[in-house]
């Protein structure tokens, strides 16, 4: 069975809402749905400009619509992901609220696909926790009657919104990668040496990109545990959400002794930033047995970093060009 690794990239940010969307979301927190007049029409969700004419719309023209409305189109989500607003099957629908001329995208908690129909009547089920967000409407439900919530919304008008964009993806892990990770768990670096060109690759690459041939268990070699710094970067951390580093730190490229293999972006330990230099001889430091298993899976978590051996620096001007 193929193993997979799951990764999530998060991109949280805040956005300002402006007078129209801010009023719309403030209304949702108060369990009211607002549209905006544009000529003879009422747009819901409200917009700052008429999409047909480009005319600026004035926020004084906000009007309450709904709360019930009519489904004009829908699709069924049979297997929700964690990104979806409901954890059980539901419909995404375009809903024209009573009094509005445009449609709002929201979810319909209908129970089953058989309960969904174009033309069906729906009303909002309000969320107990309302912050001025489209999910202040937990879902629309079949029928004419909204389901009110007891909880109070924010006391101040909503002017900003937290936006937590994220994507979760899964990557298959080949047997070569599994074996390379097992090796690092045992305090070894596994290499794969191409039988045709003799190049050695790390990290369970599984193929030689030069000769386009598969590399297998038969091509495995243990790599040296010492090397020389060929290049480095001093990184000054920016305090974005999730950043755990607070002080500038070094990442170094290391050419392993007696080999062609360069390990990139390695952690150098016990060397002040102003003493990091090309030519420094270093050796791998692994976590002790008691610390093993505390890592987070498919990482080099058992490799603590690299420490100077104390040998005189290598004097080779071509080292600086070796970053891979
Ligand atoms: Zn090759």
Q: Are 143 and 121 in contact (CB under 8 A)?
A: yes
Question: 255: CA distance to ligand 1 center in Å?
Answer: 19
Question: 307: CA distance to ligand 1 center in Å?
Answer: 31
Distance CA(223)–CA(259), nearest Å, equals 8
Residues 6+ apart with CB under 8 A from 186: none
Is the torsion defined by CA of 129, 130, 135, 137 positive or negative?
positive
Give the tokens for residue 322.
């070796």
Burial class (CB in 10 A: 0-12, 13-18, 19+), 274: exposed
pLDDT tens for the chain, 324 residues: list them: 678 888 888 888 899 999 999 999 999 999 999 999 998 899 999 999 988 888 888 877 999 999 999 999 999 999 998 889 999 999 999 999 999 999 999 999 999 999 999 999 999 999 998 999 999 999 999 999 999 888 787 888 889 988 888 888 988 888 888 888 888 888 889 999 999 999 888 877 789 999 999 998 999 999 999 999 999 999 999 988 788 889 999 999 999 998 888 999 999 999 999 999 999 999 999 987 656 544 434 344 688 999 999 999 999 989 988 877
Ion ligand 1 — residues with CB < 5 Å = 194, 196-197, 208, 210-211
How far is C-alpha 212 from the chain's CA centre?
32
* Its pTM surpasses 0.75: no
Question: 305: CA distance to ligand 1 center in Å?
Answer: 29
If you ran DSSP here, which 8-state letter would residue 56 be given? B
């Amino acid at each position: 069975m193929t193993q997979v690794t799951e990764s999530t990239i998060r991109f949280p940010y805040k956005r300002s809402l402006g007078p129209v969307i801010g009023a719309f979301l403030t209304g949702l927190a108060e369990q009211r749905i607002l549209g905006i007049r544009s000529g003879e029409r009422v747009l819901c969700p409200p917009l700052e400009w008429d999409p047909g004419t480009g005319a600026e719309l004035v926020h004084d023209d906000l009007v309450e619509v709904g709360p019930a409305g009519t489904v004009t189109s829908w699709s069924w989500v049979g297997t929700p992901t964690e990104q979806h607003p409901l954890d059980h099957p539901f419909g995404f629908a375009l809903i024209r609220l009573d009094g509005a001329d445009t449609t709002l995208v929201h979810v319909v908690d209908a129970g089953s696909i058989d309960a969904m129909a174009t033309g069906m009547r729906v009303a909002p089920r309000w969320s107990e926790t309302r912050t001025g967000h489209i999910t202040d409407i937990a879902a629309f439900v079949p029928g004419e009657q909204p389901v009110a919530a007891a909880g109070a919304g924010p006391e101040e008008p909503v002017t900003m919104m937290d936006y937590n964009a994220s994507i979760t993806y899964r990557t298959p892990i080949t047997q070569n990668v599994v074996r390379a990770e097992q090796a690092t768990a045992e305090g070894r670096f596994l290499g794969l040496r191409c039988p045709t060109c003799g190049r050695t690759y790390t990290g369970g690459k599984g193929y030689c990109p030069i000769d386009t041939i598969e590399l297998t268990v038969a091509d495995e070699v243990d790599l040296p545990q010492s090397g020389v710094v060929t290049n480095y970067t001093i990184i000054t951390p920016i305090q974005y959400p999730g950043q755990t580093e607070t002080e500038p730190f070094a990442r170094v490229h290391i050419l392993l002794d007696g080999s062609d293999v360069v390990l990139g972006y390695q952690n150098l330990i016990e060397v002040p930033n102003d003493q990091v230099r090309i030519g420094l001889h270093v050796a791998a430091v692994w976590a002790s047995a008691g610390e093993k298993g505390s890592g987070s899976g498919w990482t080099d978590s058992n490799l603590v970093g690299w420490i100077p051996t104390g040998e005189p620096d290598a004097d080779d001007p071509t080292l600086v060009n070796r970053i891979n």
